[in-house]
Structure 1
Amino acid sequence: MGDPLESLRALCSALPEVTERLSHGEPTWFVRGKKTFVMFADHHHDDRLGFWCAAPPGTQEELVAAAPDRYFRPPYVGHRGWLGVYLDVPVDWPEVAEIVQDAYRMVAPKVLVAQLDSAQDA
């Protein structure tokens, strides 16, 4: 995949009832226009390119410990278990797609998660 922002945008925008708008000066994706699940981070608080996202409990600690060159604890939201993913390294886009879907599942209403699951089963 080419441009990391466009690749991330495609993954997020493919999910049910997702909207994008700027938040804190960065592209950010919301479920039903309200709940943030992914925030782009273009050198936002450091010299790195990446994104921050909601994550299931324990995921941040596991991935950061296993691959600190690819994952990090983001500022501000890291204490809530959010995961940071670097995009300025070779990116495993199928894995990032799973991470984005997990983030969506953490904040989306059950009816939208069910809609996502039924679309994937089809």
Structure 2
Amino acid sequence: MIQQRNIALCIILSIVTCGIYGLIWFVKLTDETNMVTPPNPAGKPYTSGGISLLLMIVTCDIYGLYWAYKQGEKLDNAKAARGLPTSNQAVIYLILQLVFPVVGWAMMQNQLNEMAPPAQNM
């Protein structure tokens, strides 16, 4: 189940921890996007967050460009499956991954927050 995250707090924690929280956020963002996305038509599982992070590190962020574009497509598919209006932002995420990845991650998290169930107060 996905949870809503405070985007400003995620960005601040990424800065304060010198990027370590950013890596954790990247993995969670990938895994939660995979959870909300309808199954792959080819029947293949989506790449997990940990594998995506490993590939991004090994390829010096070349995989990160592919990842950002695919995240945009997956988020559009998830919104369409829920009857929400879609906005094709895959290319924007790709460009932001080149320039300033955290902004793209924040935009992706915002879209996930829209699809997450409301937080329950205990």
Same fold (TM over 0.5): no
Q: Of Structure 1 and Structure 2, which has the larger fraction of its residues in helix?
A: 2
Whose RCO is larger (CA < 8 A, sep 6+)?
A: 2
The two structures have a TM-score, normalised by structure 1, of 0.36
Q: Of Structure 1 and Structure 2, which has the larger fraction of its residues in strand?
A: 1
The two structures have a TM-score, normalised by structure 2, of 0.36
